[in-house]
Amino acid sequence: MGIVKLIIIVLIVWLGFSIWRKLRQVKNNDIAQPSTRKMLSCSVCKMHIPESEAIIPNGKAFCSTKCLG
- Asked if 68 is part of the footprint of Zn ion (rule: CB under 5 A), the reply reads no
How far apart are the C-alpha atoms of 66 and 58, rounded to whole Å?
16
Q: Closest CB to Zn ion among 28 and 41?
A: 41
User: Which C-beta is closer to Zn ion: that of 5 or that of 38?
Assistant: 38
Among candidates 55, 27, 29, which has minimal Cα distance to 41? 55
Which one of the spans 1-9, 25-33, 38-46, 51-59 is the region binding Zn ion (CB under 5 A)? 38-46
Q: Which of 8, 45, 53, 56 binds Zn ion (CB under 5 A)?
A: 45
Strand boundaries in 1-69, DSSP class E = 39-41, 48-50
